[in-house]
Amino acid sequence: MELKGRPGVVNLLTAAVLLFGSVAFLIFALYPTSANIEYGSRQKKTFNAPRQNVWSELTEDEAADVNAFIIKEASHLNLTVHPKSAQDNFIFIVETLKPNKTDTAPYLYEDDAPKPERWAKAAVSQNFEDGPYMVYYQVGPLPITKDSQVLPLNYMFNSGRNYVRNPMYDFGAIQDFALSMAENVSDITQELLGATANREDPTDPRGLLAFPRGSRVETGGMILWMQFYRPGMGSGARTLLPQGIYAKVDATNSDINQWTVGEYYYNGVLYENEHEFRAALDDPAFKRTPANIDGSWTDTEDFGDYADRDLPPPVSIQPYGPRYKLDRKEGFVSWFGFEFYITTAQSTGVSLFDIRFKGERVVYELGLQEAMAHYAGDDPMQGGLEFMDSFFGMGKNMFELVPGYDCPAYADYLDSEWHQAYKTHNMPNSVCVFEFTADHLLSRHTAQYSVTASRNTFLTVRSVSTVGNYDYTIEYVFYMDGTLEVKVRASGFIFAAFYTANSTKSEDEYGHRIHDALSSSMHDHVLNFKADMDVAGPKNDMVRLAIEPITKNFPWDQPEQPKRNTMHLVEYPVVEETGMDWPKNSGEFYIIYSNESNAWGERKGYRITPGTGMGSTPHLTILNSTTLGDSARWAEHDIWVLKQKDTEPRSADPLNYFAPHDPIIDFTKMADHESLEYGAPDTSYDGDLVVYFNLGAHHVPHSGDIPNTLMHTSSSSIMLVPHNFADRDPSRQSVQGVRLQLSGRKAGGFAGEWFAGDESKSLARHNHNNGDLRVRGEKKEAGTKAKYFGATYEKGVKVPVEAFEPDLSGYVSHSDDVGGLNFTGFGRGEALGG
């Protein structure tokens, strides 16, 4: 069988803003009546997706079948179901192998086309002579039958291999090594930090922990720098509690018993070994720096009584129930012309597929690829620190959302699942879907005789991934005009640096002093997303529509004005795969065009542009990062445009974290300047393109980031905005709003009306069933009249207290569900397979 790709067949009920009361009460909109409607009474009718969600995550039964089949069929792998040591071979992850687009498109867009075959992807921890590796396999077709196979998964990796060596496979042993190292210098830590490690209780709030920052070396293995931390168990604030002692560990040997501790670093001085460090303590010239002590300053809550918050804030409600339609089984949503499928993955979290608007294709796939944080500093930890959070699991760490806080109380909450080490993990209520009315309008206009206002109601799909110290809120937002927004907000604890009292330290070069012995640490967040664009179909091209100054003469200007300084539009086609940055002064529009046209002969398009976050979205500041190597070259520009290929489904892979200088997916081999000229000779480009874009922030934490970073100052987004996609603004058919006809005999009329005739007859034609427009008499000036488009509230609604403040006693999760957050102190140990 030739593997080309992979085996297989190739409503308006606006959310009212009200103050929460201590008991349920009545809300009246427009005209109070004695008849009240039960809150949320709109019946959720049975709704079915038009097709099966072929991208959905494996069910628990499917995962169990895949595990059993691999063990039976691939007996040569010598897999064990109950691994007891790092030397055991075992199945680490199983998940859905997303079907190829070329296999899926016929099923979605053609009548009677078959479903694409369903396959699984497995990551297996295997031991070879030179140590443990993570190896990818594909398993299918599913369900398991006599025709199913276990095959190496090769086609999506441009490195030519489906495996990566695991240099930190036994994190438990690494923790034990760190404890032994700390015990060996307990006299030093006691004198300088006032604490020692506690092997019997590593979480002792009076004790110390040590954690590594690893760097791959070309000769194999790793060099680790260990830094001491206080546990911070009360608030989980250990990344605010670094201590000023660092130890260098030679971990180039795969046998941890051969690892050795070498240099120590303290207060800007490097010591050759612990003996030299210990001896230096007795030197009268030895400079000490204060320890970083935990306290109430790290608490994320202040439960004090303050007069300014003696009343609860306004909240949003949804009196009649949802207006969108949701098929929970298939993860399919329909809302005011938008339709799409939701799916999740353990490494990347939520993705959306087959996004359509008003029946036309817009985006085939939209989802996170990687979330990177890269630090800088003058100490051995911050100086080389970086995280690639798909490795630690943006989906695995999508924990339960808090109703009424993370999302409105009335939202629909969806579960997600992931499968690791033969167990299925259910993440309850980890994705929410809801409609929300903004505090600003979608459109408005005050004319001489009238005022028109349209409410801005949008749909959101939201999740929160807490990977160690950071909480990433990721949302996909849909607007009534066809605009899509992808937005990221960050909160949580910063990964801070120890503040030294060394007079030679360069102040504020890498951050600011933010507590007694704590400094902030500058870093870049770059989160990479994929948008497989299908604007009005699969045949697309991209242009840079530039706004440029020009000096030009016009015949109607002559002879008074020989030349006029003005501006005009210039279109530059993007003819090859490339990376681009957002233009200076927003002087270019990046537009993906279809070969289809609207009624006015203009090509249908979608523009990609920075959205509602804080300024333009960033790319990585560091050039040719020493730490990242070739593992995240997608971070070097704001946006990339590439040819769509089944063999290039992702810009990154979680295992790139293990091999940054020889990644399993090298993005430079994807963005290799292939032609994007549709129909040009000597090119295989068929018009199907993919855009990769980055969200994030250049984060320079300050005192306001203590204890937690605030979301409104750390948000970033892009928007996909219709550009000549429709013949006119399509939101006119969906929005709810009002036109106020101002008083006066010459107050004008509604659209299409001519008020020069009999005013009473003209007004009578607009008599509204709500009684809003009434003829008061032919000779009397009419008062201000209101005519509504879209439904309005006409009866009172009895609202239960839970609609304002949900009963959180039903919160499903318990501490064991988020135990991974405490496993390493940074929430990242379990991903190492240890």
CA–CA distance, 562 with 556 (Å, rounded to integer): 10
Contact 721, 473 (CB under 8 A): no
* Residue 389, H or E segment: helix 389-392
Dihedral Cα 614, 616, 619, 623, nearest 10 deg: -110
CA–CA distance, 290 with 280 (Å, rounded to integer): 17
Nearest CA-CA partner of 251 in 173, 135, 134: 173
293: its two tokens: 């002590």
The verdict on whether 476 is a catalytic residue reads: no
What is the residue-wise DSSP string for 710-746? -GGGSEEEEEEEEES-SSS-GGGGT--EEEEE-SSTT
CA–CA distance, 299 with 184 (Å, rounded to integer): 32
Contact 375, 438 (CB under 8 A): no
Contact 166, 222 (CB under 8 A): no
Buried b (16+ CB within 10 A) or exposed e, 682-700: eeebebbbbbbbbbbbebe
55: its two tokens: 């991208």
Nearest CA-CA partner of 415 in 426, 404, 425: 426
Marked catalytic residue, from 133, 470, 472, 593: 470
Contact 453, 441 (CB under 8 A): yes
Q: Is 669 helix (H, G, I), strand (E, B) or coil?
A: helix
SS (HEC) of 784-809: CEEEEECCCCCCEEEECHHHCCCCHH
The verdict on whether 413 is a catalytic residue reads: no
Where would I find the beta strands (DSSP E) of 598-709? 603-610, 639-643, 689-699
Contact 738, 786 (CB under 8 A): yes
CA distances for 9 relative to 55, 118, 341, 551, angstroms: 15, 10, 21, 58
Marked catalytic residue, from 103, 389, 666, 688: 389
Contact 331, 342 (CB under 8 A): yes
Q: Is 444 helix (H, G, I), strand (E, B) or coil?
A: strand
* Residue 226, H or E segment: strand 222-229
* Residue 365, H or E segment: strand 360-375
Residue with tokens 């090509």: 603
99: its two tokens: 């079907």
CA–CA distance, 471 with 400 (Å, rounded to integer): 12
Contact 788, 736 (CB under 8 A): yes
Q: What share of the chain is helix, strand, coil (3-state, %, to 5)?
A: 15, 35, 50
CA–CA distance, 644 with 533 (Å, rounded to integer): 9
Contact 736, 12 (CB under 8 A): yes
HSE of 586, CA atoms in CB hemisphere, 13 A: 8
514: its two tokens: 């933010």
Contact 244, 230 (CB under 8 A): no
Residues recognised as catalytic:
389, 470
